[in-house]
Amino acid sequence: MRAFASETRRSLQRARVERKRQRAKDPHRIHYFHEAADPYSHLTAQALAPLLERFDIELTPHLVGAPPAIAIPEPDMHRNYSRQDAAQIAPFYKMTLNDHGKNPDVKATRMAERLLANRSDADFVQLAPRIGEALWRNDRAAMEKIAAQHGLASEDAAAQAIAKGDSLRAKWRHYLGAMFYYGGEWYWGIDRLPYLEERLKGLGARKKAAPESPAAPRARNAPDAMPGAPIAKLEFFLSLRSPYSYLSVAHILELPKRYPIEIAARPVLPMVMRGMKVHPAKGLYIFSDCKREAERLGIPFGKILDPVGKPVFRGYSLFPWANEKGRGGEYLASHLKASFAEGIDAYSLRGLRYIVERAGLSWDEAKPLIDNQDWQKELEQNRQTMFQAGCWGVPSFRLTGSDDAPPFAIWGRDRLWLIEEEIAKRAARHSPRQD
C-alpha cells in the first residue's frame, strides 16, 4: 500500500501514459461510468458539458449497473444516504436533484437505462442530465417524451451495454458509478473532478477561450470563523484503521477554535474487524485517493504500517483513559498519524509510548492500562449510535444541540465543508439567552 500510494509511482505512471499517448497521437480520452439510479451519477452528468467546454478532450461514456454487493457493506443505508446527501449538496453546485424520500423504482430505472444505452457520446452528454432529472422527479411523462424524440433501446440492448460497462470498470479495478477514468487513475464524481481538471490543465489540454471557473464550482456560504460559547456538539465517529479518519481528525479538532461547538470523539471498530468484507479494488483506490487528498491538504501520508488487529485493540484499550483526561481526540490523532504517516508499530510499547506522550499524556499512567477490555462496550455503543444516525462507515459526523434543531448526520471526509455550513447556519439563527 505504501508503494501504491507513492507520489513517485504516480508521477512515473503519468509520464509513461503521456509518452504513449503522444507517440500514438491519441487525444486525451476520458472514460466516464454512469449508473442510471445513482444520485451522484446524476450530479456528475450535469458537469459533463462544462468539462467538454473547458478542455480539449474526448469523453467516452459507459453505462454501468449497481456496485457489486461486496463493495457496499450496507446497501440499503448506502442508497438512502446517497440520495439525501446528493440532494443536500446539489444547491451548492447550482445543480438539481429532487429527493422525494425514496429511490427510483426498478421499472423507472430500467426505462432510464434503455434511454441511455447505445447513445453516441455527444447525445449521452446532452441527454443524461435530462433523463436523470426526469427519473429523480419520478416524471414518467418526461421520460416517454424523451423516448419519443430520441428513441428507446431494447431491454436486451440496455442489459448488454451495462454488462460491457461493468466488465470494463472491473478490468480497470473499480466498482462505483459517477467515475472518471483517465490514464490509469480514477476520479469520483464532482468531488474529485477538480483533480482531473488540474491534471488536464498540466498537460496543456485546457482550451484557450475556456471559462476560468471549474466545471463544477461549489459555493461557500459559511464564514471562516464564528467564535462564541458552544451551542452544539459534533460527534466524530472514526476508526484507527481508517486513512480518511486520519485525514479528517486535525481539521475536526481545530473546529472549536473557529465555531461555537464542542467535539466528542466516538471511535468504532474497523469494518474488517467487525466481520465485513471489502472489495479488493477498494483498498487500492482508497489509498491512492488519500494520497492525492493529503497532498492537497499538506498532510503527511504514505509511510503506512497497517494497525489492523492487535494494534487497534491495544490502541483502543487506552482511549477511555485518554478521553477522561480530556485528550481523547488528540490521542486518536496521534495514533492515526503514527500508522498512516510515520510507519510506527503501534503495537510495540515503544511505539505506543511515543503516541501517548505526543498526545500530551503520561506514559506512566497509561502503561498499567494497556490491553484492558473496558473499552469494548463503549465502542459498540458508538457503532450503534452511528447506525442510528443513518451512517455505517467512518469517518462520520453527527451535529446535535443548537436549540430544537434536529441532529445533522453526514458521512465522509469530503463533507467537512458541509458540516461547517450547517454549524454556521445554526450559529447564525441561535439567539443567546438574555439574563
Give me the pLDDT at residue 401, please: 86
What integer pLDDT is reported at residue 6 of this predicted model?
A: 77
User: According to the model, what pLDDT value does residue 431 have?
Assistant: 54
Which SS3 state, helix, strand or coil, does residue 254 take? helix
pLDDT at 435: 40
Sign (positive/negative) of CA torsion 227, 404, 238, 268? Answer: positive
* Ramachandran quadrant class, 231 (left: phi over 0; alpha: psi -120 to 50; beta: rest): alpha
Any idea which residue has 440496455 for its cell?
158
Across the range 6-23, mean pLDDT stands at 92
**pLDDT at residue 434 in the model:** 41
Confidence of residue 275 (pLDDT cuts 50, 70, 90): low
Q: Mean pLDDT for the chain?
A: 94
Q: What gap in Å lies between CA 272 and CA 176, rounded to an integer?
A: 20
Which domains, ranges and CATH numbers included, belong to the chain?
15-202 (3.40.30.10), 232-429 (3.40.30.10)
Percent of the chain having pLDDT more than 90?
Answer: 88
Q: Are the C-beta atoms of 114 and 154 separated by less than 8 Å?
A: yes
Residue given cell 470498470 in the structure block? 169
pLDDT-wise least confident of 39-43, 113-117, 192-196, 427-431: 427-431
Question: What was the pLDDT predicted at 100?
Answer: 87
pLDDT of residue 296: 95
Give the helix/strand (H/E) hosting 20. Answer: helix 7-24
In the predicted model, is pLDDT for residue 433 greater than 60?
no
Instruction: Considering only residues 255 and 227, tell me which one the structure prediction assigns the higher pLDDT.
Output: 255
- Reading phi first (left if > 0) and then psi (alpha if -120 to 50, else beta), residue 402 is in left
CB atoms within 10 A of CB 267: 29
Q: Decide: 175 and 67 in contact? Cβ < 8 Å.
A: yes
| 15-59: pLDDT as tens digits | 999 999 999 999 999 999 999 999 999 999 999 999 999 999 999
pLDDT digits (tens, 9 = 90+) for 71-112: 888 888 999 999 999 999 999 999 999 998 999 999 999 999
Give pLDDT tens digits for 305-356: 999 999 999 999 999 999 999 999 999 999 999 999 999 999 999 999 999 9
At 283 the pLDDT is: 82
Residue with more model confidence, 6 or 287: 287
What pLDDT is recorded for position 238?
98
Average pLDDT over residues 185-209: 97
For residue range 361-413, list pLDDT tens digits in order.
999 999 999 999 999 999 999 999 999 999 999 999 999 986 678 999 999 99
Give 271's pLDDT tier (boundaries 50, 70, 90). Answer: confident
Q: Output the DSSP codes for 251-265.
A: HHHHGGGTSSEEEEE
